[in-house]
Amino acid sequence: MQNQIEEILVTGEELKSKAKELGKRISNDYEGKELVLIGVLKGGVVFFADLIREISIPIDMDFISVSSYGNSTKSSGVVRIIKDIDVDITNKHVLIVEDLVDTGLTLHYLKSMFENRGPKDVKVCTALDKPSRRKVELEIDYEGITIPDKFVVGYGLDYAGKYRNLPDVCVLKSSVYESKGDSE
């Protein structure tokens, strides 16, 4: 796997310290409030695990699984719910935790879906952000690290289901995509 990496964009250590900073802010902002953290599977799990251990107030947590169709490096914009949350978020404060905001379509969709279920509010936290790719306006309340418009894997992020277990956020060699007939 290591020999397929072109460059490391963000290290797992950098994201851990970002999680520490955001965890502190979240702990202050939600002190005395009922907070439910919702992790977006599968990519969000690594950051989610780093983040929750930096939060010092009691929280509830759940996961949602979504898919934008296919194995491509391009987001289709079609959001499909594969697994919904089980917890009742009525009158609770909701914080969605994502790995990466790209076009913004996924979080835009999830935010309004949860807002329709009667929570106190719904906010958004992301490990990584590619603002240059945004297609819809989206307020990110807890912002991780901004990256350029490059397709990345590792620290939870995949290409065709693989590379999620790389500890750092990496760009793969173009030969990896070319061999799958996906040239972005």
Question: Residue numbers of the site for Mg ion (CB under 5 A)?
Answer: 43, 99
Question: Any contact of residue 39 with ligand IMP (CB under 6 A)?
Answer: no
CB of 117 to ligand IMP, least distance (A): 20
Whether 141 is catalytic is no
Catalytic option among 50, 99, 102, 168: 102
Nearer to Mg ion, 107 or 171 (CB): 107
Residue 5 near residue 170, CB atoms below 8 Å: yes
CB of 115 to Mg ion, least distance (A): 19
Q: Is 104 helix (H, G, I), strand (E, B) or coil?
A: coil
Question: Any contact of residue 154 with ligand IMP (CB under 6 A)?
Answer: no
For ligand IMP, which residue of 106, 114, 127, 155 counts as binding (CB under 6 A)? 106
For ligand IMP, which residue of 11, 27, 151, 177 counts as binding (CB under 6 A)? 151
Q: Is 138 helix (H, G, I), strand (E, B) or coil?
A: coil
- Tell me how far apart the alpha carbons of residues 144 and 19 are, in angstroms, rounded to a whole number: 8
Q: What is the DSSP string of 28-69?
A: HHTTTS-EEEEEEETTTHHHHHHHHTT--S--EEEEEEEEES
15 binds, among ligand IMP, Mg ion, none (CB under 5 to 8 A by kind): none
- Tell me how far apart the alpha carbons of residues 143 and 150 are, in angstroms, rounded to a whole number: 18
Size of the chain, expressed as the number of residues it contains: 184
Question: Any contact of residue 75 with ligand IMP (CB under 6 A)?
Answer: yes
- Tell me how far apart the alpha carbons of residues 40 and 13 are, in angstroms, rounded to a whole number: 21
Mark the segment that binds ligand IMP (CB under 6 A) among 1-9, 54-62, 96-104, 174-182. 96-104
CB of 169 to ligand IMP, least distance (A): 9
Residues marked active site are found at 102
